Amino acid sequence: MNQWKNFSKGFIKENPVFVLLLGMCPTLGVTSSAINGLGMGLATTFVLVMSNIVVSLVKSFIPDKVRIPSFIVIIAAFVTIVQLTMQAYLPSLFKSLGLFIPLIVVNCIVLGRAEAFASKNTLLSSAIDGLGIGLGFSFALVLLGGIREILGSGKLFNITLYSENYVTLLFVLAPGAFIVLGYLIAVINRIKKS
């Protein structure tokens, strides 16, 4: 039952984006739309879960001197799987996310969970932790991308909600990411305090 407590931490208490402020590069770079946020979030979730599972399985075989490089190689293998799968089956999303997919390898969320959690816990706990943190990251990216897409283009998941006459282009541009993220962090901090 303790494993499920780790699962829920990723949404509010230890959300990688809103609380820990990790993974800001893909957070700000790909969230111009909700679909981009969802794609990046699910790709990162897959890598988190799978790398946590493998790290928890092989932790006793890896010498301390090569622990971090070994974790990076494990993570890179799963990022390659995601990249090739996305390129083959979701080419438009792959093109939209571009360079941010390979950068999952060095995402501090993934490497941090491998080092801080998966290398010290059981397979089941590590898988649940990866799933919780990954879904929390996905939630943050979809929320940020959705708000930016609604305000900047009048759409959500490419479904028109209101006329483009009332949109503010700023929100789909880079400064809009900072503005919306700042307000979301403030709201999350307010929720945590009450």
Is residue 36, in this structure, part of any structural domain at all? yes
Is residue 139, in this structure, part of any structural domain at all? yes
Is residue 164, in this structure, part of any structural domain at all? no
User: Please, what is the angle between helix 174-193 and helix 123-153, to 10°?
Assistant: 120
Would you state the pLDDT for residue 7?
A: 67
Is residue 104, in this structure, part of any structural domain at all? yes
In this predicted structure, the answer to whether residue 99 has a pLDDT above a threshold of 70 is: yes
Is residue 43, in this structure, part of any structural domain at all? yes
Q: How many domains does the chain have?
A: 1
- pLDDT tens-digit profile of 165-183? 777 878 888 888 888 888 9
Burial class (CB in 10 A: 0-12, 13-18, 19+), 174: exposed
Is residue 6, in this structure, part of any structural domain at all? yes
In this predicted structure, the answer to whether residue 132 has a pLDDT above a threshold of 60 is: yes
Give the pLDDT band of residue 138 (cuts 50, 70, 90). very high
Give exposure, 127-160, as e/b (b: 16+ Cβ within 10 Å): bbbbbbbbbbbbbbbbbbbbbbbbbbbbbbeeee
Is residue 137 within 8 Å of 113, Cβ to Cβ?
Answer: no
Is residue 174, in this structure, part of any structural domain at all? no
- pLDDT tens-digit profile of 63-92? 888 888 999 999 999 999 999 999 999 999
Is residue 152, in this structure, part of any structural domain at all? no
Which domain covers residue 95, as residue numbers?
Answer: 2-145
Query: What integer best gives the mean pLDDT of the chain?
Result: 85
Q: What is the mean pLDDT of residues 136-156?
A: 89
In this predicted structure, the answer to whether residue 1 has a pLDDT above a threshold of 60 is: no
